Amino acid sequence: MEVISSVDEMRAIAAKAHADGKKIGLVPTMGALHAGHLSLIARARQERDFVVVSIFVNPTQFGPKEDYHRYPRSLEADSRKCENAEVDVVFAPLAVDMYPGGFDTWVEVKGPAEVLEGQSRPGHFQGVATVCAKLFNIVRADRAYFGKKDYQQLTVIRKMVDDLNMNVEVVAVDTMRERDGLALSSRNSYLDKREREAALVLSSSLETARKVYESGERNTKAIQTRVWNIIAAEPLAQVEYVVVVDAETLTPVETIERPVAVLLAVRIGSTRLIDNTVIGE
C-alpha cells in the first residue's frame, strides 16, 4: 500500500490503474477511521480492483466556530488500518495543495443542501461538494462510497453527481452502530462517560419513530413530536432539529406515503451529533 500526499502523484497512479483496465473505488474520509469507515472500505474492496482511501480534514466544510482544529487526526494509525483492509492507496493531501493561493472555484448545490445542516452550518455543503468534486477528478474513481450516517451529505453528493453528469456512481453504505445503538462517528471521541450515555437518546428516539410507524402512524408531525419529546427529556441533550422528510428530496411531508427520512441533530454537552433512519421503505 502506498501513502501519498501529492495530487500529481495520485493523478498519475489513477491514470496507470485506468490504463491497466482497473476499476477504481474511492472512500473519501477525514480520517480518525473507525469501524464505520472500515465497512465502506470493505465494500469498495469487494466491488473494485483498486481501492483509494482519501484522508483529508477539509477546512472549507468547517465554520469559523466549528471543530476544525480539534478534529482528531491520526494518519499513522489510519494508514495501518487501511493496510490491514488491503487498500491500494491512501491519498492524504495537504490543505495548501488542495486549496492553493488563488483557488476560486466552488460547487454550490441548492435544494437539499439548503435545509437542516445547510442552515445550521452555512457553507458546509459548499465545502463538502467542492472537495468531493476535486477528489472525484483527481482519483477518477468510477464508484465512491459514502455512509448513510451523513444522510443529507449523501443526498447532496448524489444531487451534485446527477446534476453535473459526473462519471461516478455513489454507493450508500448502512450506518454502523455500537451494540447499544450509538451510531459510529469520529466525534463520539469528544463525549465523556455521562455524555456517552446521554447520546443513546438519538438512536433510541429513532427506534421509537420506527415502532410508531410500524404500529400504523402515518402523520409526520405526530412522529416528529414523539422523537422530540424523548430527546428533550434527556437533561444533557439539546435538540437542534428533528424532521421527517421525503427520503429522496428532503422536502417536508405531511402523510407518509413513500419512504421518509427521520433526521436529527442534537447537542450533547458541547458535542453536536447527527443520526437518522429511513422508514416506509
Question: Which residues in this chain contact ligand PAF in the complex, by CB under 6 A?
Answer: 28-30, 58, 61, 128, 131-132, 150, 153
Q: Is 37 one of the catalytic residues?
A: yes
Cβ-based neighbour number of residue 144 at 10 Å: 25
Cell numbers describing residue 164: 453535473
Catalytic residue among 18, 34, 37, 69: 37
To ligand PAF, the closest distance from the beta carbon of 7 in angstroms equals 15
- Using the minimum distance from each CB to ligand PAF, give the nearer residue, 29 or 188: 29
- Using the minimum distance from each CB to ligand PAF, give the nearer residue, 30 or 161: 30
User: Who's near 188: CB < 8 A, 6+ residues apart?
Assistant: 182, 196, 199, 273
- Using the minimum distance from each CB to ligand PAF, give the nearer residue, 126 or 203: 126
To ligand PAF, the closest distance from the beta carbon of 130 in angstroms equals 9
- Using the minimum distance from each CB to ligand PAF, give the nearer residue, 90 or 128: 128
To ligand PAF, the closest distance from the beta carbon of 275 in angstroms equals 14
- Using the minimum distance from each CB to ligand PAF, give the nearer residue, 141 or 227: 141
Cell numbers describing residue 234: 434527556
To ligand PAF, the closest distance from the beta carbon of 164 in angstroms equals 16
To ligand PAF, the closest distance from the beta carbon of 52 in angstroms equals 12
Q: Catalytic amino acids?
A: 37
